[in-house]
Structure 1
Amino acid sequence: MGLLLGGRKATGAGAKAREEKARRTSKARNSAKRQLDYIGYDAMYKNGIAQVEEGLFSQTVEFSDISYQSARRDAQENIFSVLSSLYNYFNADTSVQLSIANTPIPADVIGSKRFFRHVADVDDGLVDEYNRILNDKLREGVSNLERHRHLTYMVGADDVDAATPKLARIRADVCQTLARIRCDARPVDGEERLRAMDSIVRPKKRFEFSWDKLSQFRGLRTKNLIAPNLMDFAPEGRADCFESDGVFGSVLAIRDFGSMLEDYYLANIIDLPIPLVVTLHIQPIAQSDALAMVKRQLDWMDKEIIDEQMAAVKKGYDYSILPPELRYSKEEAEELLDFLRNKNERLFVYTGLVYTYADSLEELDRQVEQVVSVAQGNSLGIVGLDYRQKHALNSMLPLGRNHVNVSRHLTTGQIAMQMPFASQELNQEGGGYYGQSKQSGNLVICNRKRLASPMGFVCGKPGSGKSFSVKREILNTVLAFP
């Protein structure tokens, strides 16, 4: 199906006044001189609800990875169907943001992580030796990244008390929908949301937030504990990047797609062994507004066709021959109208952003080249956001608010095709060591108590290590659950 281009946001009639007010607030925020005024929210509550702007509240759900790329065809179709129903669930008064973040494991943790603790009746030397072996394996990781997936939704309400039941209803429906594909989802509390924002505005800095600190000093806000000391949006005179506390970052925009969208396009970018954040802003359009917009485009195309035919008759040409671009555009619009009317598709305003950061401008340029190269190999056009890095960085925060005016219209299927699931990493709390991922080199730590069925068997040819595998399983169990 063809892509319908567009850059103007369509909203419901009840949200237009709020949209105009939000536009003024966004303009004032992005022109702020202080970092505290720049960070794109007004208040953060312990339960995870954020007041983004006056009358706008958002909440974030974190969901786990699932095996998609290696799943059978019918399982992939089921995942695609569930994601389509998830996006169709949101109405025109709700903004949705999907974020996938590759966050580096802190350097002081690599090589010194304590996988198992000293317990009674177990030799301390054995525990220390096993921890040393696993830390050596941890250093071998190609990326040493932790991956987090967040779905943020924003609604309009007069105050936080009115927003709470709305957000709770959406949260329950989202978690229930994702559970249909065995994807664990849970709401993120206020401290975890602040940690996610801190890793974006202050990458590679230690997160030291505590709610107790707010009560010790009068007038202290959550922004004070995550705001960087220095932000420069023109480092060395460049307009395509920024500097935040000594770390250089750049936000890129997904502008073009190929003629056909594939489900591995986004996964190939997410699988890059570099620190990055991929964010998709999705604004649903009311079905009646979407149909009216497509019909207006068809009417305009019919007028253009009539004008072309009349000009061809006057010049003595065959009036049935139309310019290829006009002919293809009408076919795409007619196909889109059919999808909206008969195939349970909806129309969304879509903005795709990719953010990466590094310790130097040279390293940042190499990472940007990696992202652009992988995107071009997958028929994706990614461009820099010159002179718009300030707006773009705010749009990367998991708050549900888009400040970048680079968008296009996509249907439900085209958005659901951009799978947030890449190579699955297993790093479960309280689990045992089972090897290393072939793709990333990261450790595979699995807690079998969390599996649907913790039972299993070991098979292999003679000498392949079956007995050693079972002994390692016994040792994992003894150390984790003495």
Structure 2
Amino acid sequence: QIARSNNGIERSKYITFGLPAEGIAEARPRLERVEADVTGNLKRLGVPSEALDGQARLALLHGQMHPGNREPFRFSWQDIPKTGLGTKDYIAPDSFDFRQSRLFRVGQYWGAASYLQILASELSDKLLAEILELDAELTVTMHVQTVDQLKAIKTVKGKISDIGKMKVEEQRKAVRAGYDPDILPPDLITFSKDAAELLADLQSRNERMFLLTFTVVNLAPTRQRLENDIFTVGGIAQKYNCALKRLDWQQEQGFVSSLALGYNEVEIQRGMTTSSTAIFIPFMTRELRMAGPSLYYGMNALSHNVIMADRKKLKSANGLYLGSTGSGKSFAAKRELLNVFLTIPQDRIIIVDPMGEYAPLVRRLGGQVIEIAPGSPSHINPMDIQLDLDDDESPLSMKADFLLSLCELVVGGKDGLQPIEKTVIDRCVRLIYRDAALGLDTAKVPLLQDLYEELLKQPEPEARRVATALELYCTGSLNLFNHPTNVDLTARVVCIVLKGLGENLRKIAMHITNDFVTSAVNVNFHSGISTWCYFDEFHRARRSVA
């Protein structure tokens, strides 16, 4: 995909705007207002932009006059008074040669300036997109000049009057020749209809009139490569009912017009309305190719460029893989997981795998696979707690909240836990964690059975009701979570497999798993480590904890 993409092509887009003024003092505030409008409009389009200062504009002109980027740009404002050189001396190439009628030379490169003859009544935005996707060094320039609205309407009305006069003359010829005067030449009918539509657009549809000059300057190291590039651009133009015409004996004017100076020395203009001119807005797609430890995420559907992104630098690092069955969701997640493992060695990876699809990959990576199922030797103790975290919230309060929700899930019912039951559970949680909270050496990590036994010691009948509900998961046949943790939860890659669980245990297992993931993310965050969490079959996980 990288070989088929256009990532080797670097596209730069510049807007140069100008206005008539008596001097720079008058022009500066007006230009600043125009700059604010242009920047604001581009921002509404979702296009980031920045203004070029003097040195950046010189660097741009130096790049245009030194094709191939062989000559480095060396410039400093302090050098001008020392050397006596002007800014042009820093950007000028070794030589210009405009002696030929259809070609010119800039240094060692060959060049040709052409203009686009727009013949089509309707254009597609694919025209500019295809030209910009060419693997060639070229400059596409559009000089757009506004026409006063009243003057444009007056001009179109004049054209309609001329067409009406031509209609009358054709009808007179028809009467003299003895045939039906309503039969008019097809071109005249078409021109009349187009002119009427244009007048309606200008008067009632908030359209403006613009004069457009569209030039293309191709540059290549050899003359044969140049001719091939021009032929390719001409083929694209012809496909969209346009023609690429060489600027004979105007190569110098065409080259100067292509520079980012706002000068237009090519006096070939095409009248366009607002809608027609907007076709040439060059912001068709937004590329996502970030530097640094970025990962591959596929190809842009419009530009066919590779998408490389670092999710940590995006507005939201979260993501979803959506698609139909068999479309490759799990495969895409595994590929990203593998890229993270190989590219970012300090990050941790946690996978919640309801169907056991990731376990073989995690074993190959040397990670910890935890199979939670009846009869499995792997155990996670839901009573584990990290008391040494410097967090805004108390770890003991967070653990009490988790155990309250776990008991509510176990007790079930329409109303869940009653206020007295919540109070009793909170009291018991604080009692069983008292030694650990005090930092005593004799403190040990409690089990779920310790909470069960502490509930039985309480005098309230509500405590016995909760303890009876917990009995199945402590001393009963589903005592899967009543064991000390015997797996490495600190491994770099951890995969929790829930495939062997029945419906009764799955809800509790998902709840305990979510608590483990949250705790691991908090611990890693305090250590300055990023955590990549993958929840496969998200719809099943959501149904289990709903």
TM-score (ref. length: structure 1): 0.65
Query: Structure 2: how far apart are the matches of 1:321 and 1:139?
Result: 59
CA shift, 1:206, in A, is 2.6
CA contact (8 A) 1:209 1:226 kept: no
Which of 271, 274, 281 pairs up with 2:143?
Answer: 281
CA shift, 1:199, in A, is 2.1
CA shift, 1:271, in A, is 1.1
Partner of 2:21 in structure 1?
A: 157
CA shift, 1:227, in A, is 0.5
Partner of 1:454 in structure 2?
A: 317
Query: Structure 1: how far apart are the matches of 2:308 and 2:319?
Result: 16
CA shift, 1:361, in A, is 0.2
Partner of 1:472 in structure 2?
A: 339
Q: Are 1:355 and 2:217 matched, yes or no?
A: yes
Query: Structure 2: how far apart are the matches of 1:413 and 1:440?
Result: 23
CA contact (8 A) 1:248 1:360 kept: yes
Q: Secondary structure at the match of 1:250?
A: strand
Tell me whether 391-400 or 450-459 shows the greater mean CA deviation. Answer: 450-459
Q: Secondary structure at the match of 1:308?
A: helix
CA contact (8 A) 1:229 1:245 kept: yes
Partner of 2:39 in structure 1?
A: 175
What residue identity is the alignment partner of 1:351?
A: T
CA shift, 1:442, in A, is 6.0
CA shift, 1:231, in A, is 0.7
Q: Secondary structure at the match of 2:316?
A: coil
Q: Secondary structure at the match of 2:296?
A: strand
Q: Are 1:224 and 2:89 matched, yes or no?
A: yes
Partner of 1:115 in structure 2?
A: none
Q: Secondary structure at the match of 2:125?
A: coil
Query: Structure 1: how far apart are the matches of 2:294 and 2:177?
Result: 79
Query: Structure 1: how far apart are the matches of 2:168 and 2:2?
Result: 67
What residue identity is the alignment partner of 2:95?
A: L
Q: Are 1:417 and 2:284 matched, yes or no?
A: no
| Pairwise CA RMSD | 2.8
Tell me whether 415-424 or 430-439 shows the greater mean CA deviation. Answer: 430-439
Q: Deviations over 1:456-475 (max 9, x none)?
A: 24577487253341353466
Which of 41, 48, 52 pairs up with 1:188?
Answer: 52
Query: Structure 2: how far apart are the matches of 1:376 and 1:463?
Result: 45
Tell me whether 403-412 or 254-263 shows the greater mean CA deviation. Answer: 254-263
Q: Deviations over 1:163-192 (max 9, x none)?
A: 221111111111111222211122122222
What residue identity is the alignment partner of 2:41?
A: T
Partner of 2:163 in structure 1?
A: 301
Partner of 2:515 in structure 1?
A: none
Query: Structure 2: how far apart are the matches of 1:391 and 1:430?
Result: 42
Query: Structure 2: how far apart are the matches of 1:462 and 1:295?
Result: 60
Q: Secondary structure at the match of 2:282?
A: coil
Query: Structure 2: how far apart are the matches of 1:398 and 1:448?
Result: 35
Query: Structure 1: how far apart are the matches of 2:196 and 2:205?
Result: 13
Query: Structure 2: how far apart are the matches of 1:263 and 1:441?
Result: 16
Tell me whether 375-384 or 335-344 shows the greater mean CA deviation. Answer: 375-384
Note the 1:7-406 alignment, pairs <5 A. 144-204=8-68, 205-212=70-77, 214-215=79-80, 217-234=82-99, 238-406=100-268
For the pair shown, the structure with the greater C-alpha radius of gyration is 2
Q: Deviations over 1:195-240 (max 9, x none)?
A: 2222222211333132245335343221111101111113xxx421
What residue identity is the alignment partner of 1:316?
A: G
CA shift, 1:479, in A, is 8.6
Return the structure number with greater relative CO, CA threshold 8 A, min gap 6.
Answer: 1
- Relative to 1, partners in 2 of residues 1:264 and 1:320: Cα closer, same or farther, differing over 3 Å? same
| Unaligned residue ranges in structure 2 (runs of 5+) | 348-527, 530-546
- Relative to 1, partners in 2 of residues 1:157 and 1:211: Cα closer, same or farther, differing over 3 Å? farther
- Relative to 1, partners in 2 of residues 1:242 and 1:436: Cα closer, same or farther, differing over 3 Å? farther
Same amino acid, percent of matched pairs: 29
What residue identity is the alignment partner of 2:56?
A: E
CA contact (8 A) 2:295 2:336 kept: no
- Relative to 1, partners in 2 of residues 1:318 and 1:140: Cα closer, same or farther, differing over 3 Å? closer
CA contact (8 A) 2:139 2:216 kept: yes
What residue identity is the alignment partner of 1:144?
A: G
CA shift, 1:436, in A, is 6.8
Higher fraction of strand: 1
Q: Secondary structure at the match of 1:186?
A: coil
TM-score (ref. length: structure 2): 0.58
Q: Secondary structure at the match of 1:369?
A: helix
- Relative to 1, partners in 2 of residues 1:408 and 1:289: Cα closer, same or farther, differing over 3 Å? same
| Unaligned residue ranges in structure 1 (runs of 5+) | 1-136
CA contact (8 A) 1:138 1:443 kept: yes
- Relative to 1, partners in 2 of residues 1:428 and 1:224: Cα closer, same or farther, differing over 3 Å? farther
